[in-house]
Amino acid sequence: MPGMTVRWGILATGTIAGRFTEDLRLVPDAEVVAVGSRTAAAAQAFADRYGVPRAHGSWADLAADPDVDVVYVATVHPAHYLAAMTCVQAGKAVLVEKPLTLDVPTAEHLLATARARGVFAMEAMWMRCLPAIRRMADLVADGAIGEVATVHAEFGLAGPFEPTHRLRDPAQGGGALLDLGIYPVALANLVLGPPTTIQATARLTAEGVDAHTGLLLGHPSGAIAALTCGITGATRNAASITGSDGRIDLPGPFHCPKRFTLHRRGADPEEIDAPFEGWGYHLEAAEVGRCLRAGLVESPLVPHAATLEVLAVLDAARAQLGVTYPDAG
């Protein structure tokens, strides 16, 4: 309904849940009313830290809270599906951290269930909601750099990460692809849509997840996306989109930039500023609120099709690399 205050529940109590809760204070028509965790102690500690009125000791209790309109799911990757499904089946809208689930089949089932029940669902691909990324996408769509030929993007962390770390644990969806590679793939998808060919190469850790990965995506137009991700060394974490009449450079970190440079043929480089407050998570929260007031079941900024297309690339890459997770294909 127009003018409604969107009442949020937070499912999970880790770092990302805390940052999201902090950023919600930047959304004037949103409030956090409850938090849920697998233990009452963890939920209460989070509630005390962030001033959340109610703490629930189970996901089901949070999903059943009549004062919650939408739940932000911030668990580890393998728990996304069950946590989000618990909320959807209780009639609660969901914003689910990326990746939406571990693979396409579970993502399709979750989204189909939400649509069938008339419940809003969105992957928390906050990159697509940021002003610089939206401005960049508009410029590309308007032909500012001509026909896109290539997308280059890299995202690497230095580490080192111990063998017991989440990023090296197959049972927690570890490896570079799901945490980092999803952003270069999402950028390529935003600009070029789904690819027709996917080539992946990687070095795997002793645990069987990807330590660093390269992806080469071919698109129907003939455009190519060259993408890398890794947990073995810090890269520039920058990106560029090159077209027949120019180029757009996104500085690091490219997935949450506050500015970028537009190069047009025959013109001086143009610096385009697009700042935002906080971590930027409030922008995806505001989009969720806008969609709920409009009665939508999916966001045009982060559509279900794009979520599934990106996940399909990650699935194909994992299959080529031989990376498997206990709870996915």
The residues annotated as belonging to the active site are 98
Query: For the chain, where are the alpha helices, taking DSSP H only?
Result: 15-23, 40-50, 59-64, 80-89, 104-116, 131-141, 176, 182-192, 281-294, 304-321
Separation between Cα atoms, residue 13 and residue 56, nearest integer Å: 11
| Per-residue b or e along 78-101, where b marks 16 or more CB atoms closer than 10 Å to that residue's CB | bbbbbbbbbbbebebbbbbbbbbb
Cβ contacts of 294 within 8 Å, gap of 6 or more? none
Separation between Cα atoms, residue 42 and residue 40, nearest integer Å: 6
Separation between Cα atoms, residue 86 and residue 251, nearest integer Å: 39
Quickly tell me which residue has 């049972």 as its tokens: 171
